Amino acid sequence: MTIAEETETETDERKIVTFTLGHQMFGIDMRALIEIREWEEPTPLPSVPLYIKGVTNLRGSVVPVVGLAERLGWEPSQIHSRSCILVVSIAGKQAGFLVDEVADIVVINGGDIQPAPDVDVNDESVIAGLVKIERRTKDAEDAETMVLLLDLDALSLTRHLTDIAA
Amino acid sequence: MSGDSELDEIQGIFFEECAEGLTVAEEGLSAMAAGDVSADVIAGVFRAVHSIKGGSGAFGHAALLAFSHRFENVLDEVRGGKIPPDEAVTQTMLNAFDVLSDHVKAAQFKTDPPNDAAMLAQLDALLEHKAGAVAEAPVVVVAEAPVADDFGFVPVVAPIEDFDPFGFEPVSVSLDIEMDVAAPWQVRFGPSRGALANGGEPLLVIRELEAMGGTVTAVDVSALPKLRDLDPEDSYFIWTLDLPGEMDEQAIRDCFDFVAPDSLIEVARSAAAPPPALVDLAPVTVEPVAAPAKPVAAETPSARSAPTPEVRPAEAAAQTIRVELSKLDQLLNLVGELVIRNSILADRLSLPDQERVELPDLLRLTRQIQDNVMSLRAQPIRQAFSRVPRMLRDLASETGKKVVLETIGETTEVDKGVLEKIGDPLTHMIRNAVDHGIESPEERIAAGKSPEGTIRLSAEQKGARIIVSVSDDGKGIDRVRVRAKAVEKGIISADAVLSDEEIDALICAPGFSTAESISNISGRGVGMDVVRSNVEALGGRVEIHSVPGEGTTFIMGLPLTLAILDGMIVRLEEQRFVLPLANVIETIRPEPGQVKATSPTTEVIELRGSYLPVKRGSELFGIGANDRRNPEDSVIIIVESETAGHVGLMVDTIDNRREVVIKSLEDNLHPIRGLGGATILGDGSIALILDIDALVAPPPMQVKFTQKGIAA
């Protein structure tokens, strides 16, 4: 922490939205977030990868809903009462991500972000970096947890799917 | 002052205005060619060319500027009655117009400007031969460049589709030229109140005039209010300048090209030869204070002193503004949403509440807003027709055929999106008509027809469709040759029995071309094929009627808009889909035994003695795998597709028929084969719109949706 504090500059603060998929906590840049909606069964689409759950109506626009866990290669999320959809804007296109539970909005320092270890065996990495945050829990003081910051551009549907579209 | 992108944007506006100007000029010239040489028509052409010239100078398109200037000179003389607008002159001007369009294109796409030497010589010849002509002052081409430099903002000043944006008409030049001793010019200039707000810095104009040898002789500050009433955005001064008498009046007026409308601009020879001494210059020192001011509600102080007869008030032009198409689309989206919310609201209310007056009122209002927004996107089809005359002239000169164009219903309005897409099919159809339909003058005379062929272009609205037809009075389709060619190309078998209509339709078959030699007009063998697929991609149809010896008519039936689709809502495994009504031929509830399996996976339906293939919708979408339900429990919709002809599509039930707003999947995802988009139904849920052609495509192209079952 000391190094981070030394290099801390006010401009490098950023807000992230944290959420869970399974037992793992993820974060995305707050600026990309449009809204958080309750889970609603989307209209399924034919001829798309399994992680695209379908499309939903977001104020008159047809927006795809992505099972983020499957997209990242984890076990598909089970829908429960706290399941929700994070609607984000990636390069001007909107997409909804199904997540297990939205946790918090936290402020982190850009300097605190560590590069993701290059262990991603899949295609290109969708993890922009790792950061430690303190959890707002009632009891434990040492409730630090690691957050995987997602690289939204790498998650862009249009980018990944151009070959499938044909 | 402005970055490159900003400049590009302004340039973009300039070229849009050029396009509009060209349209107006062409209409005017065509009217002149048809015999209407009234002053209004000529003045309209003049103004259009004039504004193209103005903008081209501002953006440094030297070649365009030089040409438009010369063209404008000729038009000016025609307008002034010095050159009679007879047939030869009009023809020359029409040709000049073509070169002008090429110049605009060259400037727009940064290609080499067309070779205009011959055309310029013709224009010059006109100028020289005009009756009682006084030697023209050399073309003052560069005069405008400085204006442009000083005014980076230029075209923004007049972005209104008003072809007289400058509030004055540079008439009456010729009268003065003939004066023996050129009396000095006296120029009075009072910027309009809005000038500063529009970025029209009067000082730049004054400097420009001073650079041309002018001197400020007086400044009328009578309109200046008290200091506390001053509005810094207003202009209150009227400058009087003297300029040397040998100046060309047009050159002086050019300085005011980019002055805001409603400004006071008087250019006249001063009656008294000696210019007034440099009196009254003192108020100039007030200038720094002059800028700030306060609105005086009572009156507009600037430039209201009696205008001279030369300054004609700006013609009352239709008030229009430019709006980005994307903003209209957004509005349409929101209104669509409003409609949906309305019906959701209605569903939630109890029946007595639903029938109260407020809700139906709200619904009606919303529909009206929707119709209005749709009409905002509607444009007269004239825009698509306008490029035809030029094309015909080119075609006529290439082929040596004589063609007269008749247009009917050019004010018919269609959605902008449709309009943009019918240009190409129209071009192909016209080319085809000239190339294959109309005969050479000799052949026509031999056939007892007038040597001039006629092409009739018409548009009319029929219900929710727009019918555009191109008919010629040529030789008609040579069915024997078409048939022989189709056999030769392997499109049909040699023993096929075809009706006349079927033979005619062959010319739209892919890879078909009957041209003996490949001309550079049509005959690349893609023409009519492209027409058909373009039109069908728009949800339209192409029909061909041909009578040997009398001519051929191509008819395009197009939807009025691309944003709304007339659809049938069907259900498959409880999911709703929209089937475009344009594809639907009929619906059938099959009798037991009417649907027969021809293999474990294929079925046919017997319909009035013939067998049509049947596709199960559930299978196409991979819903409810191994669905072997009885056809009797389903509904079969006979659809027509381009690739597979008539096919039966088996669905569970038909909900209803309604108009749906098409939402593209590409906006946030990517196109999906078999789907034409999506729509939002009354309850806010999404229904997918089927693309029948892709869905029932024959086996080689068939992609089965196996990646994912559609049912969750």
HEC string for B264-299:
EEEEEECCCCCCCCCCCCHHHHHHHHHCCCECCCCC
A111 inside domain: yes
**ipTM score of the complex?**
0.80
Tell me how close the Cα of A44 comes to any Cα of chain B, in angstroms.
5
Q: Residues of A numbered 79-138 whose beta carbons fall under 8 angstroms of chain B's beta carbons: which are they? A: 93-95
Select from B681, B664, B661, B684 the least CA-distant residue to B672: B664
Question: To probe the interface with A, which of B370, B672, B690 has the most A CB atoms within 10 Å?
Answer: B672
What residues of B are in contact with residue A43 (Cβ under 8 Å)? 575, 678, 685-688
Verify whether the Cβ–Cβ distance A43 to B671 is below 8 Å.
Answer: no
Residue B154 DSSP symbol: G
Supply A3's token pair. 């190094």
CA distance B73 to B137: 11
**CB contact B685 to A (< 8 Å):** yes
Beta-carbon separation of B669 and A42 below 8 A: no
Q: Report the candidate in B243, B7, B245, B15 with the shortest Cα–Cα distance to residue B107.
A: B15
The C-alpha of A139 sits at a distance from chain B's nearest C-alpha, in angstroms, of 41
Name the phi and psi angles at B242, rounded to 5. Answer: -110, 140
User: Residue length, chain B?
Assistant: 712
3-state DSSP percent of chain A in helix, strand and coil, to 5: 20, 45, 35
pLDDT value, residue B162:
43
Residue A165 lies in a domain: no
* Residue of chain B whose Cα is closest to the Cα of A90: B668
CA A30 to CA A76: how far, in whole Å? 24
**Nearest residue of A to residue B709 by CA position?**
A46
State whether A61 and B671 contact (CB < 8 Å): no
Separation in Å, CA of A8 to nearest CA in chain B: 35
pLDDT score for B301: 43
Question: Chain B within 8 Å of A61 (Cβ-Cβ)?
Answer: yes
- Show which of residues 220-239 on chain B sit within 8 Å of chain A, judged by CB atoms: none
Confidence at residue B642, expressed as pLDDT on a 0 to 100 scale: 66
CATH of segment(s) B380-559:
3.30.565.10
DSSP A54-101: EEEEETTEEEEEEEHHHHTTSPPPPP-TT-EEEEEEETTEEEEEEESE
Q: Which residues of A are less than 8 Å from B697 in CB distance?
A: none
What residue in B sits closest to A93 (Cα-Cα)? B668
| H helix intervals, B437-549 | 441-446, 479-488, 500-505, 527-537
Q: Say if the Cβ atoms of A46 and B621 lie within 8 Å.
A: yes
User: Which positions in chain A touch B675 (Cβ < 8 Å)?
Assistant: 45-46
* Percent of all residues in chain B with a pLDDT value above 90, rounded to a whole number: 4
Cβ contacts from A onto B, under 8 A: 97
Q: Between A43, A59, A95, which is nearest B668 by CB?
A: A95
Residue B666 backbone phi and psi in degrees, to 5: -70, -25
pLDDT, position B464: 67
Chain B residues with beta carbon closer than 8 angstroms to that of A94? 668
Compute, in degrees rounded to 10, the torsion defined by CA atoms A15, A21, A23, A27. Answer: -10
- Do the domains B1-165 and B170-295 sit in the same CATH topology, yes or no? no
Q: Say how far apart CA B609 and CA B85 lie, in whole Å.
A: 68
Put simply, the answer to whether B707 touches A158 (Cβ < 8 Å) is no
Instruction: Provide the token pair at B224.
Output: 């200046």
pLDDT at A86: 93
Query: In B, which residues are within 8 Å of A62 by CB distance?
Result: 663-665, 667-669, 677-678, 680, 686
CA distance to partner chain B, nearest, from residue A140 (Å): 41
Sign (positive or negative) of CA dihedral A88, A90, A95, A100: negative
Select the more confidently predicted residue: A6 or B193: B193
Contact at CB, B710 and A45, closer than 8 angstroms: yes
Domain B564-701 has CATH 2.30.30.40: yes
Q: Rg of the Cα trace of chain B? A: 33
Which residues from A are below 8 Å from B668, CB to CB? 61-64, 93-95, 157
Helix, strand, coil percent values for chain B (each to nearest 5):
40, 20, 40
Judged against a pLDDT cut of 90, whether residue A98 lies above it is answered with: yes
* Intervals of chain B under pLDDT 50: 1-3, 131-180, 273-315, 515-525, 699-712
User: How many angstroms away from the CA of A58 is the closest CA of chain B?
Assistant: 9
Complete DSSP assignment for B42-61: HHHHHHHHHHHHHHHHHTT-
Cα B49 to Cα B377: distance, rounded to the nearest angstrom: 27
Q: Which two tokens stand for residue B132?
A: 């009682």
Main-chain phi, psi angles of B312, to 5 degrees: -80, 140
**Token couple for B167:** 């509030």
In 3D, which of B251, B254, B151 has the Cα closest to residue B201? B151
The third-level CATH classification (topology) of the domain covering B1-165 is: Four Helix Bundle (Hemerythrin (Met), subunit A) (1.20.120)
Chain A interface includes B563 (CB < 8 A) = no
**b (16+ CB within 10 A) / e for A119-153:** eeeeeebbbbbbbebeeeeeeeeeeeeebbbbbbe
Residue of A nearest to B335 (CA): A60
**Would you give the DSSP letter of residue B412?**
-
- Could you give the residue ranges of the DSSP H alpha helices within B212-315? 249-254, 287-290
Chain A residues touching B664 at Cβ < 8 A: 62
Range of the domain at A145: 2-160
B682 min Cα distance to partner chain A (Å): 12
Q: Which amino acid is at B679?
A: T
- Residue appearing with tokens 């399924």: A44
Beta strands per DSSP E along B548-599:
551-559, 564-572, 575-580, 584-588, 595-599
Q: How far is B695 from chain A (nearest CA, A)?
A: 12
Q: Does residue A145 have a pLDDT over 90? A: no
Alpha carbons within 13 angstroms on the beta-carbon side of residue B77 total: 27
Of B668, B671, B710, the CB nearest to A46: B710
Query: What is chain A's length?
Result: 166
Distance from CA of B645 to the nearest CA of A (A): 24
User: Across the strands, what pairs with B646?
Assistant: B640
CB contact B681 to A (< 8 Å): no
Q: Is residue A50 part of a domain?
A: yes
- Mark yes or no for CB contact B686/A57 under 8 Å: yes
Residues of A in contact with B684 (CB under 8 A): 57
- Given a contact cutoff of 8 angstroms between Cβ atoms, the answer to whether B412 and B380 are in contact is yes
Q: Do B705 and A47 touch (CB under 8 A)?
A: yes
Residue A166, domain member (yes or no): no
Q: Does the distance separating the beta carbons of A54 and B665 come in below 8 Å?
A: no
Total of domains in chain A: 1
* Closest Cβ–Cβ partner in B336, B669, B707 for A60: B336
Query: Quick check: A41 and B712 CB within 8 A?
Result: yes
Q: β-pairing, B686-690 with B575-580?
A: parallel
DSSP-derived letter for residue B399 is H
Q: How far apart are CA B390 and CA B99, in angstroms?
A: 11
Q: Mean of the pLDDT values across residues A45-64?
A: 87
Phi, psi of B495 (to 5 degrees): -100, 15
B231/B235 Cα distance (integer angstroms)? 8
* E strands present in B617-674: 635-641, 645-651, 653-661
- At residue A65, the pLDDT reads 94
Domain positions in chain B = 1-165, 170-295, 326-377, 380-559, 564-701
State the Cα angle at B463 between B461 and B464, rounded to 5°.
Answer: 90
Question: Could A47 and B688 be called an inter-chain contact, meaning their C-beta atoms sit closer than 8 Å?
Answer: no
The CATH code of domain B170-295 reads: 3.30.70.60
Q: What is the pLDDT of residues B627-666, one digit of tens each?
A: 667 778 889 999 887 667 788 998 888 988 877 878 878 7
Question: Does A142 map to a domain?
Answer: yes
Nearest CA-CA distance, residue A60 and chain B, Å: 5
Give the pLDDT of residue B362: 85
What are the φ and ψ backbone dihedral angles of B71, each rounded to 5 degrees? -60, -45
Q: Are B17 and B51 in contact (CB under 8 A)?
A: yes
Q: Does B704 touch chain A (CB under 8 A)?
A: no
Determine the average pLDDT of the residues in A100-115: 87
The residue assigned the tokens 């229009």 is B320
CA distance B336 to B328: 12
Which residue in A43, A56, A161 is closest to B688 by CB distance?
A43
Return the CATH number at A106.
2.40.50.180
What pLDDT does residue A136 have? 64
A18 touches chain B (CB under 8 A): no
Chain B residue numbers with beta carbons less than 8 Å from the beta carbon of A57 are: 680, 684-686
| Inter-chain touch A48–B707, beta carbons under 8 Å | yes
A155 touches B: beta carbon within 8 Å: no
Instruction: With beta carbons under 8 A apart, name residues in chain B contacting A50.
Output: 707-708
User: Strand locations in B434-522, DSSP E?
Assistant: 452-462, 465-472
Q: Is A66 part of the contact surface with chain B (CB cutoff 8 Å)? A: no
**Alpha helix stretches (DSSP H) within B80-143:** 87-108, 117-129
- Which of B667, B671, B674 has its CB closest to that of A62? B667
Residue A152 near chain B (CB below 8 Å): no
Partners of A21 in the β-ladder: A24
